[in-house]
Amino acid sequence: MTDATMQEGPRIERLDPALDRLIAPDAKIEILAEGYDWVEGPVWVKDDGYLLFSDIPQNVVYRWKEGEGAKEYLKPSGYTSPRPRGGEIGSNALVIDSRGRLVLCQHGDRRMARMEAPLRAPQPVFTTIADRYEGKRFNSPNDAVYKSNGDLYFTDPPYGMEKQFEDPLREIPYQGVFRVGTTGTVTLLTREMTRPNGLAFSPDERLLYVAQSDEQAAIWRVFDVKGDGTLGASRVLFDATPLTKTRAGLPDGMKLDTGGNLFATGPGGVLVLSPEGKHLGTIVTGQRTSNCAFGDDGRTLYMTADMYLMRVRLLAKGQGF
C-alpha cells in the first residue's frame, strides 16, 4: 500500500447514481478536531446537541459541540484500575440507553458498563451491565447497539487486551456476538465471525449487520433476527477484501439511514452500501476510519478517523431522528 493511497482524500467517491439521493454533489468533508491518538465510538446526545467520542489509548471520552469545540468529558472511560497496563484501555463504542444514560464498551475493564451520573454532570462511576458469559470474562467489548425492546447487542474481539489474540488473560477463546437481555441474562448469538466489530439493526429490526475487521475476509455479514431476538441464517452482504489491497482500513463501525442504507467504515473511509449490498460510493477521509454517527437533525454524519473528528452533511437521514 503506497503512501499516496494512505493519504488519499478527503472527497466523495461516487460509484452509482443512487448516491446522489443520499449525498449532495457539492457535499464537503470538514475536520472538526484533531490531535488524538485513536478516536472511536461517537454518539450524538440529542437533548443538548453535542457529540461524545472516545480516545481509546488515552482512556478519555471527549465532548464536541458547535461553537465550543472538543473538551475532555470523562476520564477514566474504560479502565478504572489504578494498576498501569498497556494496550487499548479506554472506552470504545458509546451508546445512550432508553433512559438517557451513557453506556460504554469498556476495553480495559472488559465489560459493558453504564455511567451512573447524569450526562450533564459526568463522573467516572460505573455500574456493570455484563462482564462475563458462563463465568468467563469477556475479551474487550467493542461495539454495541440497543434493540427497541431494551436488549443490548455487542461484539467481543480482544483488541483491548495487551496482547490481543495472544493474551494469556483471555478466558473466552472465540470472538462472539452477545446479547444482554433486560433481565441481565447474557446470550451468545454467534461465534462464527473471526473478528466481529461494528453492528447495527435494519430499520425494522429484522436484520442485524455485523462488520468483520479481518484482513483475510473483510466483510459485512447480515443475520436474520428471530422473533425471540436470537440470530438465524446469515449471508455476506459485501466483501471489501479486494479494497484492502489499495486502501487503508477495515470494516469497523456503522450506522443506517431511514432507508436502510449502510454508512459503514472500512477501506478508504465510509462506504455507502444499499440494503442489497451494492457499493454506491465512499466518503473518502484519507485516514483509517473507525466509526460514525448521525447527528444534528439526523442529516449530518460525524466520523472518527484516526486522530481526527470529521463530519459531512447528507441528504439521507439517520435512524432515530
Q: Quick check: 300 and 273 in contact, CB under 8 A?
A: no
Residue with cell string 446537541: 49
Domains along the chain with CATH numbers: 36-191 (2.120.10.30)
Is residue 143 within 8 Å of 93, Cβ to Cβ? Answer: yes
Cβ neighbour number for residue 14 with a 10 Å cutoff: 15
Q: Which helix (H) or strand (E) holds 113?
A: strand 111-115
Residue 316 DSSP one-character state: S
Cell of 257: 439511514
Output b/e per residue, 154-192; b: 16+ Cβ within 10 A.
bbbbbbbbeeeeeeeebebeebbbbbbeeeeebbbbbeb
Q: Note the pLDDT of residue 82.
A: 94
The model carries a pTM of: 0.96
What is the CA 166 to chain-centroid distance, rounded? 23
pLDDT digits 0-9 by tens, 21-77 = 999 999 999 999 999 999 999 999 999 999 999 999 999 999 999 999 999 999 999
Which position has the grid cell 446479547? 179
Beta bridge pairs of residue 113: 104, 128
Per the CB < 8 A criterion, the answer to whether 194 and 217 are in contact is yes
Neighbouring residues of 48: CB distance < 8 A, sequence distance ≥ 6: 65, 119, 120
Give 10-residue mean pLDDT values along the chain (321 residues): 51 98 97 98 97 98 98 98 93 97 98 97 98 98 98 97 94 98 97 97 98 98 98 98 97 98 98 98 97 98 98 97 94
Non-local (6+) Cβ contacts of 176 within 8 A are: 133, 155, 156, 188, 189, 190, 191, 196
Return the exposure string of 122-140: e unless at least 16 CB atoms fall within 10 Å of the residue's CB, then b. beeebeebbbebeeeebbb
Cis peptide before 76 (omega within 30 of 0): yes
Question: Coil, helix or strand for 179?
Answer: strand
